[in-house]
Structure 1
Amino acid sequence: MTDAVAVFVPAPDLTMTIENVDGSPDIHLHAGGQGVWQARMASALGADVVLAATFGGETGHVVRTLIEPALTVRELAVAARNGAYVHDRREGEREQLVRMNAEPLTRHELDDLYELALIEGMKAGVAILSGPQDDGVLPDSLYRRLTADLTGNGCLVVVDLSGSRLAEAHSGGPTVIKVSDEEIDGDPLSAGRDLASTGARIVVISRGADPSLVFHGDEVLTIEVPSLEPVDTSGGGDSITAALAYGLAADLPIPEILRLAGAAGALNVTRHGLGTGDGAAVRHLSERVRVRPLAEEP
C-alpha cells in the first residue's frame, strides 16, 4: 500500500483571521474548512494527498489559489460559491465577525463531484470524507452512497462527521469513524459501542482535554497524551483524523496509528495554524503517548 490519501472536500472555505501584532491588526487569508485542515496534517506526516474539491464564485477562486502546492487538487469548477468567514483573534479567543454560507450544489454538480471523489478515493486506497461547514450544500445521503461504493471497491474510508451526515456514512460501512463527544447524544461508551457494532475497524471519540476513547474489536482503549498548554483547540480533532488516515495508508500497526493520532491532535492545539505541525515533531511526541485499556490504571 502506498501512502496516498484522498480527501473529499466539498466547498472549502475562504478564511480571514485578524491577529494582534505589536498592537496593530494583522490579517491572514487561508484556505480552510475541515477537509483542508485534515489534508494539511496528512501531508505533513508524509502522505501523498489529493483533494477532491469544488470551487465557485469569487471566494472559490481565491480559495483555490491559497491551497498549498504540496497538496494535489482535483478541482471541480461549479456555479455555487464557496463559503467564507472572518474571525477576530486579537483578544486571544476566536470571535466570528461574519459568516457567508456556501451555496448548494446543483444536481449535475453533485453528480460530477461524486464521480470525482469516487475515482480519486479508489485510486488512493484510503479516503477521508469530510463535510462542508454549511448545511444544504449537498444531501446527507451522498455520504452513505459514497462510503458504500468506496468500501465495496477496496478503499479504506475514514469519516469525521456528525449528525445525519454521520448516520448516513455509518450505514455505508466505513473503516474508521472519528467523532467528538460534543457531537454525540448520551454516554460516549454506549455511543462508541453502537458505532463499532456494525463493522467499523476503529472508532475514536475525542473528548477535549480528556483521553480519547478508542473502540477496536472487543477492546475499549484510551489515548493519553502529554499535558501541553493549548493556544487554539480548533483543528485538533481534524489532526487526529488525518493521522488515522495516514496510519492506514502507511499500513502501520494499530497501536502506532493511535499514538500518532493522539500526538497530532495534541501538538496542533499548541499552534495558531489549524491542521498544521511538523511531521517529525508529531512522531517524536507520539513516543510519549500511551494507549491503554480503559480499565487499566496509569
Structure 2
Amino acid sequence: MPKDGSGAKASEGEICIFAPWPLFTITIEKLSDEGDEVYFHAGGQGVWVARMVAGLNGRPTLVGPVGGEASCVIEALVRAEGIELRGVPVKGANGGYINDRRGGDRKEVANVRPPRLDRHEIDDLHNAALAEGIRCGTLVVTGIPDGEVMPVETYPRLVKDLRANGVIVVADIAGSVLESIEEGLTLLKVSHEELQAAGLAKSDDDASLMKAMEALRGKAEHIVVSRAGAGCLALMEGRFYEAKGPEMAAHDHTGAGDSMTAALAVALSGGLDPREALRLATAAGALNVTRHGRGTGRREDIEAIVPSVLIEERT
C-alpha cells in the first residue's frame, strides 16, 4: 500500500540507499603480540548506513557508481555483507583509503579520491535511485564532499521525484548538498558540528541548535540533530525533544550518526511513529560507539537497550 496515499508501493523493511561515494577501505590494527591485523571493507557513508540497515534486519539496496579495479573489490565486499547492490557503471575508478590504527588513533596512509561523474552517468545514477526508491518505498540520501563527484543540483531533483511518487526520504546530508534542498524531505539527520560549520548554529548549546532546526523546518517534516556523546535533539510534529541513550564506554564515535540514520529509516519504513523511531535511533547510535567498525550492531542488542533511552519534550 502507498505510505502517503500517492503512487509508491511500500515494501516494509526494504530500504534503498543513495550512495554516490562508495569506497574501498583498508584498516591496519595491532590486536595482539603475534602481528598486525588487516581488514578490508567497503566504505563511505552510504555503505555504513546500509550495513546498519542490514544489522536491524532490514533489506538494504545500495545504489551507487562503480568503476575501475576497485569496483570489483567493493562489489564483492558489499554483497558479502548481505547488501544488495545496484551498481551504475562509470568510466572513472572508485576511490578509497588506507588507515593505520596500530597506535590507537586513525592515521591516514593513503587516500584515493572518487571520480567526477559526467552528465550521462549522473542521469543513470538518478534513474537507478529513483526506480529503486519507488520499488522500496523508502530511500536514504547520503551526501558527497563539497565540489566532488557531481553537481549538488542532482539532489533536489531526485528528492522532488521521489516525493512525487510517495517515497519516504530520509537524508543524512550537510554543506552545499543540504543547502541545495529547499523542501521535500521526510526526515533530516544532521550533526551539531555540521550546523555550526554551515553557520546555522552559533554554538553547540541547545538554544542555538534549536534555533537552527527552526530555520530548517521548510526542508523536512522531521529534523534530528546528533550531538556526539550528548544524545540528540529532535523537532518532530512541531515539538522539540531531547533523547539520551544509556552511558557507554566509547571505543569509536565514528559511525554512530550513520547508525542513527539507518535506524530512523528502518523505523519509519516499518510504520513506527516519529518518537519511537527516535528511540530506536538513539539506541543504535549509543551501541555503535562501543564497537569496532562503522554502522555495526545487531537488532536484538539494540532493542534490548531501547527501554533505557530517555526522551523528554523541550520548550
TM-score (norm 1): 0.95
Q: Is the 8 A contact 1:31 1:63 kept in 2?
A: yes
| 1:51 equivalent in structure 2 | 62
CA deviations on 1:37-96 (whole Å, 9 max, x unpaired) are 000111111212111111111112211111144111111111111111011111222121
Q: Does 1:130 align with 2:145?
A: no
What SS does the aligned partner of 2:129 have? helix
For 2:25 and 2:107, the matched residues in 1 are separated by 13
| 1:96 equivalent in structure 2 | 108
What SS does the aligned partner of 1:201 have? strand
Q: Is the 8 A contact 2:146 2:175 kept in 1?
A: no
Q: Does 1:22 align with 2:32?
A: yes
| 1:193 equivalent in structure 2 | 214
For 2:183 and 2:68, the matched residues in 1 are separated by 32
1:208-247 alignment, distance < 5 Å: 208-247=228-267
User: Alignment RMSD, CA only?
Assistant: 1.3
Opposite residue 142 of structure 1, the aligned amino acid is T
For 2:266 and 2:170, the matched residues in 1 are separated by 10
1:261-272 alignment, distance < 5 Å: 261-272=281-292
1:42-81 alignment, distance < 5 Å: 42-69=53-80, 70-81=82-93
Provide structure 2 residue ranges, at least 5 long, that are not aligned to the other structure.
Answer: 1-9, 202-207
Provide structure 1 residue ranges, at least 5 long, that are not aligned to the other structure.
Answer: none
Opposite residue 104 of structure 2, the aligned amino acid is G
| 2:19 equivalent in structure 1 | 9
- State the Cα distance separating 1:11 from its structure 2 match: 3.0
**Which runs of at least 4 in structure 1 moved beyond 6 Å after TM superposition?**
none
Q: Does 1:31 align with 2:52?
A: no
1:108-119 alignment, distance < 5 Å: 108-119=120-131
For 2:147 and 2:303, the matched residues in 1 are separated by 36
What SS does the aligned partner of 2:185 have? coil
| 1:148 equivalent in structure 2 | 160
Q: Does 1:251 align with 2:261?
A: no
| 2:4 equivalent in structure 1 | none
Aligned length: 293
Q: Select between 113-122 and 183-192 the one with higher mean Cα deviation.
A: 183-192
For 1:211 and 1:172, the matched residues in 2 are separated by 26
Q: Does 1:206 align with 2:222?
A: no
Q: Is the 8 A contact 2:146 2:176 kept in 1?
A: no
Opposite residue 195 of structure 1, the aligned amino acid is L
